[in-house]
Structure 1
Amino acid sequence: MTTTSGSGVHPRFADALRELGLDELLSEVRRFPEATRTAAEAAAAIGCQLSQICKSLIFAADKEPVLVLMDGASRVDVERVREELGAEKVTRAEADVVRETTGYVIGGVPPFGHRTRTRVLADRSLLGHDVIWAAAGTPYTVFPMAPGALVAQAGGILVDVRERTS
């Protein structure tokens, strides 16, 4: 893992950090030589717990994109998302919808700095750590942030939408 001062960060995400007054995060971005498209790959590369990874997942709720922020150790319960949004139907968004909505590819979607504004649901499980790691706009880059601050910057509403374990 290497530290970068902005090189390798997606330009849209770097601009978003600057616009939000979070320039200092650019120096904390980590760049990996190999893509970390899954939460498990990112956690292994960083050397953190899987639950410290923040997954940024796009769903379609009645065909409208919605961003769900989930810890890396959990899965999203689509039925709970549907109930939370009062939607008729919720499905995983197709790759082209993810890119069109966010401006980023799957595996590199950050929690904020998207091309378009969407509703954001953030699972409470993210608050279980002092620091969580999220994609910085590419499958090769991540950044650390306090979970409460990350949810606030994303404009997220705290909810319980992870799958219940039996």
Structure 2
Amino acid sequence: MPAEQTSTPSHAAVDRVTDALREQGVTPEVVWFDDAVTTAQLAADALGVQVGQIANSLVFTLDDEPILVLTSGAHRVDTEWLGGELGGVIGRASKEVVKSATGQVIGGVAPVGHPSPVRTFVDTDLAQYDEVWAAAGHAKTVFPTTFDELVRITGGTPRAVEPRAATA
């Protein structure tokens, strides 16, 4: 299990995320880990929380436009279903598209701190938790937030990201 570090490292992408959070009136409480937490389960285990409390930041393309889907770590995005719901075709974004759209790399993409706004959808399943955790711009970082705050700071659209979530 990754251990928390006692000193706080610095990273340009994390600095951009914390600046963006401050601009939104959020006091960033970034947690750094010794090792990367590149899956929802690793992050949940390291934090001692439920996997559903992890807000995975997934970049896709919707008809070639990068979009960000913040989804609960408890399930996967049904891209075929969601694409139909959004009236387009969702594809997997390449690492180059992810980096270009967010300024961050896969495994550490935060909901904010991007070079320009990215159309964002926030999984309504995250609303069931009082606290959720999102990446802070690096695979060794996370920060606590809430569903409502994620929607507000991203300008995101709350929505189900898989059919089960739509009926739950």
TM-score by length of 2: 0.88
2:95 matches 1:95:
yes
Indicate the residue corresponding to 1:12 in structure 2. Answer: 16
Contact map agreement 2:122 2:150 (CA 8 A) in 1 = no
AA partner of residue 155 (structure 2): G
Correspondent of 1:2 among 1, 4, 14: 4
Return closer, same or farther for 1:148/1:115 CA change in 2, 3 Å cut-off: same
Residue in structure 1 matched with residue 54 of structure 2 by the alignment? 53
Match of 2:80 in 1: 79
Q: 1:75 to 1:163 in 2, by over 3 A?
A: farther
Distance apart, 1:80 and its partner CA: 2.5
Q: Secondary structure at the residue paired with 1:60? A: strand
Identity of aligned residues (%): 45
Shift in CA distance, 12/6, structure 1 to aligned 2, threshold 3 Å: farther
Task: Tell me, yes or no, if the aligned pair for 1:55 and 1:134 is still in contact at 8 Å.
Answer: yes
Task: Tell me what 2:140 maps to.
Answer: 140
In the TM superposition, residue 156 of structure 1 has moved relative to its aligned partner by 1.0
Is the 8 Å Cα contact of residues 74 and 163 (structure 1) preserved in structure 2?
Answer: no
Runs of 4+ in 1 over 6 A off after TM superposition: 3-6
Aligned partners of 2:120 and 2:154 also within 8 Å: yes
Structure 2 segments unaligned to the other structure (5+ residues): none
Q: Could you say what secondary structure the match of 1:65 adopts?
A: strand
Compared CA separation, residues 5 and 19, structure 1 to 2 (3 A): farther
Residue 158 of structure 2 corresponds to residue 158 of structure 1 = yes
Distance 1:91 1:39 in 2: 21
Q: What amino acid is aligned across from residue 160 of structure 2 in structure 1?
A: D
Letter matched to residue 32 of structure 2:
R
Aligned to 1:63: 64
Q: Is 1:116 the equivalent of 2:116?
A: yes
Greater mean alpha carbon deviation, residues 67-76 or residues 13-22 = 13-22
What is residue 43 of structure 2 aligned with on the other side? 42
Matched letter for residue 157 of structure 1: T
| 1:84 to partner: Cα distance | 2.8
Gaps of 5+ in 1: none
Whether the aligned pair in 2 keeps the contact of 1:4 and 1:30 (CA below 8 Å) is no
Secondary structure class of the residue paired with 2:61: strand
